[in-house]
Amino acid sequence: MASAFAAAFEILSFGAIIVLVVLGLGIIASMMGIFNFAQGEFVLLGAYITYLAHSRGLPVWAGMAAAPFLVGALGFVLEALIIRRFYAAPIVAMLGTYALGLIIRESVRGLIGGLYLSVPEPIGGSIDLGSVHVSAWRFVIVVITLLVMVGCYLLLSRTSFGLRIRATLENPALARASGISTASMYGTTFAFGAALAGLAGALLVPVFSLFADLGIRFLIQGFVAVMVGGVGSFIGPVAGAAVIGTLSAALPWVMAPVVADILVFVLAIVFIKFRPQGLMSGKGV
Amino acid sequence: MFNDHGHLNRRRFLGGFAFTSGAIATGVGSWVLRPEWANAAAAPIKVGIATDLTGPIAYAGNADANVAKMVIKEINDSGGLLGRPLELFIEDTASNESVAVGNVRKLIQRDKVDLVLGGITSSMRNAIKDPIVARGKTLYIYPQLYEGKECTPYLFCTGPTPAQQCDEFIPWLIKNGGKKFALPSANYVWPHTLNVYARKVIEANGGEVVFEEYYPLDQVDFSSTVNRIISNKVDVVFNTVIPPGVGPFFKQLYEAGFLKGGGRLACVYYDENTLNINQANEIEGLASCLDYFKTLTKDDPVSAKIQAAYEKDYPGNFLFAAGSAATGTYRGLKLWAEAVKEANSVEREAVAAALDHAKIAEGPGGPAEMVPGKRHCKMKMYTAVAKGGNYEIVGRSDGLVDPKEC
Amino acid sequence: MAESGLAGLAPAVQTTPRRKILPIVEILTLAVAIILPFVLQDYLTVFATHVVILALFAVSFDMVWGYAGIMSFGQALFFGSAGYSVALLARDLDITSIAVVLPAGMLIGLVFSLLLGSFLLLGRHPSTVIFVSLGTLTGSYAADRLARGWYYLGGQNGIPSIPSMTLGSYEITEGPVYYYLALGLLLVVYLLCRFLVRSQFGLALAGLRENEQRIAFFGYKVQHLKAIVFAAGGAIAGLAGSLYAFHEGFVWPNMLGVVFSTQVVLYVLFGGSGTLIGAVIGAIIIEGVSFWLSDNYRDIWPIILGVLLLLVIMFRPLGLISFVLGERERVGRFGGRPKEGRHAAP
């Protein structure tokens, strides 16, 4: 029983990690129809900022708090300068953001010297529930992810700002005609997606350690998750991330890790083939 | 040329680069060291180092490069070899086999080196040995502990083999840990082959292998493995997971209460460099078996001298340690220098014949001897345990241990 | 609505030169390629061979993307599978004869691309470009992970020490011999592709690229056309993969993976898609620049490369070749020369 609980918790926490990473990717894909190949590198930047704060002697949580804002700001600037040009051609957007990601990744690699660096977690140790030990920090990650998701949902459904975002999501032309500045909506959305990735990176770095290729492994999982969940809504990518994350964490318990690794992707592609609109079709929240 | 690990030359000039001789970046790309007294009359002997300056084991590769610089400088300061200065060419293998092959080709075809020393992981050795030995017809020394079975002619190994690392270590583990072993491993050739040997020794000493599993190199989530270890009441985790996975793995194991329950970690590549990957309490009691530990400097003057010389020239994060091929690099270069002196030439045939039975009386951890006909090296082995972030020697071999290869 | 997506980014003013620039560019490139080994040192000829093989790989992608509008992020899957297959042939069955391994590589590439292509492209609903690109990306990624985990294939290490390709008892080693072999094969494939895209089949492909729906309404089986081109691209990638395996002397999981796949996409994008020579030039330039940069600006060359690519993608999305070629030449000429006073439709 205890081991089943431990297993469930591990799976849940890994799923939460994937959700956090994918949320930003999904929002950008749903809103602007482009797949941001640099999303993994935004995660990397969040992790790097956290490491930087730690190595300068600041408390780790300060770095973690700053990361989303800094990465979000960078996202906003990049959108205005570069991403804006790609909306007409989604394929070129993928390649352009890939080049962007390459620049960011190699810059970070140069800065950390190609090494693997560790960052301690602000809340360490484990929580003991009877005979089950649960990593305290992973628990915090799950909690924060839930809070973020709830916050996003409330933002989108209860505020007028969220209303405008949803309008732009559903029908950009009409939204523009109604006086909503889609350009600033896109900018804000991209910044928001980047900020989420930055937060994910910051929270993850104690678990995964900092290295330049951190972003790549999340990229593929992220895209597959968004496709499985369905592009165009808020809940779609979240659902997709939850499914992919859970599968990725659960399957190694019942089969060889190598087989599990591949099976997740194969299943995802087959699923998308037969249900192209994903789990949750439809636009809006 | 986009690779997972790029092709970057780590700025090694950080950390007190105390060379006064002309270290010139000649603009041909690789890092070259030429001594001041080099003149046109005596053609230099060229030594090539191919190691991981960037990537997950950059901590090891940079240490090896530093050791090479130190040894070459030492040889040059005492007049070079055969009256000729030594020139050092360093290339980055970047933990990326494709980049490595390209760079090794530069050493062989463009720089025309007389010796290549390097490669850390077995996959790297396998990738670059062909361009060096077969196509390049150059001598190759491999300095790192590995799984054995490398019997290619002109390829000499100066790091510990499974026999050297397991024969005395595993009985110690059974006595000081328990009989139930788990073998979590990275999925590549070294763990696969080492585990075959380790299993034999474990079972011959009355132990039991509860499970043996292989993980992708970039796996960082080990919850199912940790669970299997705890629920099967494993006594000794004989680990061959390497960075980046090993840090999270040991952390997750600690958080699940493995050490508290009396378990012991064992990892034969763990040295002073890797101690920093985890917090000290997460690896308390971890046992390792290598040819050298820094704590030996307390009672071995030769080791103390070498360690001091290294730390004077290279203070900083790249430590002189045995799990990172640094001791093997030292040993390999010194043995090669002896062989060149005996052969009185740098021709591959002659040097290989001399290297076949070369000996050095002074090396880190003790003397070393090549076993004739086997291209592997006898050396002293030590078992040590991590206590509070430092190693404590708990076992020493009686003499030089036989590598039992080829 | 052009799904190929690049049409919307063509520069506003298109100059259409009267003379045909394309053949001039092609012949110039060929001339330079032929004399190269005579002016380069041996070590650089080996590098040049490496580039020629990658150019062949790039041509395979240009066929698929530039002519059929399939954004395949997984070409490395066919490249790498062929490489692994011939490596296994050499290691386990001691087969290194050129007459066997090169056709075997092509066959493997063809079979895999037929399998993947029919799954991704055929079916009741036409697949979106995004799905195909993600599907191929995932295929490449999954193959990489599989090779990494399967010990028979060498796992993380790959398969090292592949012996040289043989022609009878003669060993084809790296150097000028291998260079001319690779160049010869590139030339043959190039000419075949060029012939193909100038034929009636190519006309249908051009229509497919410009407006898929309309071509479908004309009665062309769009999905079948795409699958055929995808398979051809796979075969060419397979050929390149087997050449690469024997030239480098080892194969490893990255050959199958996402980074390699994206590399070839960038070659073609840089050079200019839909022109075949653009792919070759793109490969040459990117590899050459990377090589030169890595020697001289070690620490920051990937960043410089990334910036260059970004600039090209942003300001010249049709590739460098668009500096010399007009839009009409990209699409291709079909039929006879136009009579004076009339413009023939491309």
Same domain, B220 and B232: yes
List the single residue in A133, A211, A217 with the smallest CB-CB distance to B256.
Answer: A133
Of residues C224, C193, C232, C197, the one with CA closest to residue C109: C232
Specify the DSSP element, H or E, that contains B210.
strand B208-215
DSSP three-state, residue B127:
helix
Residues of A in contact with C137 (CB under 8 A): 220, 223
Q: Name the average pLDDT for chain A.
A: 83
Same domain, B233 and B150: no
Residue to substitute from B123, B185, B196, B215, interface C, most C β-carbons within 10 A: B123
Q: Which chains touch B (3 or more CB pairs under 8 A)?
A: A, C
Same domain, B116 and B90: yes
CB A273 within 8 A of CB A221: no
Same domain, B153 and B169: no
Task: Classify each residue of A137-162 as buried b or exposed e, where b means 16 or more C-beta atoms within 10 Å of its C-beta.
Answer: bbbbbbebbeebbeebeeebeeeeeb
Same domain, B144 and B226: no
Same domain, B249 and B285: yes
Cα–Cα distance, A89 to A96 (Å, whole number) = 10
Put residue B81 in one of left, alpha, beta given phi > 0 → left and psi -120 to 50 → alpha: beta
C-alpha dihedral (C56, C60, C63, C64), degrees to nearest 10: -160
Q: For the segment B148-174, what is each residue's pLDDT rounded down to a tens digit?
A: 888 989 999 999 999 999 998 999 999
Same domain, B184 and B140: no
Min distance A159 CA to chain B CA atoms (Å): 38
**In degrees rounded to 5, what are phi and psi of residue A129?**
-115, 90
Per-residue pLDDT of chain C (346 residues; tens, 9 = 90+): 344 445 445 555 545 555 677 788 888 888 888 888 888 877 788 889 999 999 999 999 999 988 888 888 889 999 999 999 999 999 888 888 888 899 999 999 999 999 998 888 887 777 777 788 888 988 898 898 888 888 788 877 788 878 888 888 888 888 888 999 999 999 999 999 988 888 888 888 888 877 778 888 888 888 888 889 999 999 999 999 999 999 988 888 888 988 888 888 888 888 888 888 889 999 999 888 888 776 666 667 778 878 888 888 888 777 777 777 766 666 555 544 555 444 444 4
Same domain, B269 and B392: yes
Please calculate the CA angle B285-B291-B296 and round it to the nearest 5 degrees. 70
pLDDT of residue C9: 53
Q: Give me the number of domains chain B comprises.
A: 2
Length of chain A: 285
Strand order in the sheet with B359-360: B359-360, B368-371, B376-379
**Minimal Cα distance from C303: which residue of A?**
A103
Q: For the segment C31-43, what is each residue's pLDDT rounded down to a tens digit?
A: 888 888 888 877 7
Task: Classify each residue of B114-128 as buried b or exposed e, where b means 16 or more C-beta atoms within 10 Å of its C-beta.
Answer: bbbbbbbbbbbbbbb
Q: For the segment C114-160, what is each residue's pLDDT rounded down to a tens digit?
A: 999 888 888 777 777 778 888 898 889 889 888 888 878 887 778 88
pLDDT of residue C164: 84
The arithmetic mean of pLDDT across residues A87-116, rounded, is: 81
Strand partners, B379: B368, B401
CB B139 within 8 A of CB B115: yes
Residue to substitute from A25, A81, A106, A217, interface C, most C β-carbons within 10 A: A106
C152: contact with B, CB 8 A cutoff:
no
pTM of the model: 0.82
Please judge whether A249 and B252 are an interchain contact, meaning their C-beta atoms are less than 8 angstroms apart.
no
Cα–Cα distance, B382 to B392 (Å, whole number) = 10
Per the structure, the complete domain to which residue B123 belongs is given by 34-160+304-375
Strand order in the sheet with B287-290: B208-215, B180-186, B236-238, B264-266, B287-290, B382-387, B390-396
A34: contact with C, CB 8 A cutoff:
no
Residues of C in contact with A89 (CB under 8 A): 5-6, 8-9, 317
Residues of A in contact with C120 (CB under 8 A): 273
The DSSP symbol for B235 reads S
Min distance A133 CA to chain C CA atoms (Å): 30
Same domain, B190 and B150: no
Q: Which chains touch A (3 or more CB pairs under 8 A)?
A: B, C
Residues of A in contact with B3 (CB under 8 A): none
Same domain, B151 and B167: no
pLDDT of residue B9: 30
Q: What percent of chain C has pLDDT over 70?
A: 86
Residues of A in contact with C282 (CB under 8 A): none
C137: contact with A, CB 8 A cutoff:
yes
Please judge whether C157 and B110 are an interchain contact, meaning their C-beta atoms are less than 8 angstroms apart.
no
A213: contact with C, CB 8 A cutoff:
no
In chain A, domain spans: 2-218
Residues 83-112 of B with CB under 8 A from C: 96-98, 101-102, 105-106, 109-110
Same domain, B60 and B170: no
**Minimal Cα distance from B131: which residue of C?**
C249
Min distance C239 CA to chain A CA atoms (Å): 26
A255: contact with C, CB 8 A cutoff:
no
How many cross-chain Cβ pairs, B to C, lie less than 8 Å apart? 102
Min distance C122 CA to chain A CA atoms (Å): 10
Residues of A in contact with B227 (CB under 8 A): 3, 6-7, 10, 253
Q: Is residue B111 domain-resident?
A: yes
List the single residue in C42, C174, C299 with the smallest CB-CB distance to B8.
Answer: C299
Of residues B166, B175, B251, B250, the one with CA closest to residue B206: B175
Q: Is residue B10 domain-resident?
A: no
Same domain, B222 and B113: no
DSSP three-state, residue C249:
coil
CATH number of the domain bearing residue B52: 3.40.50.2300
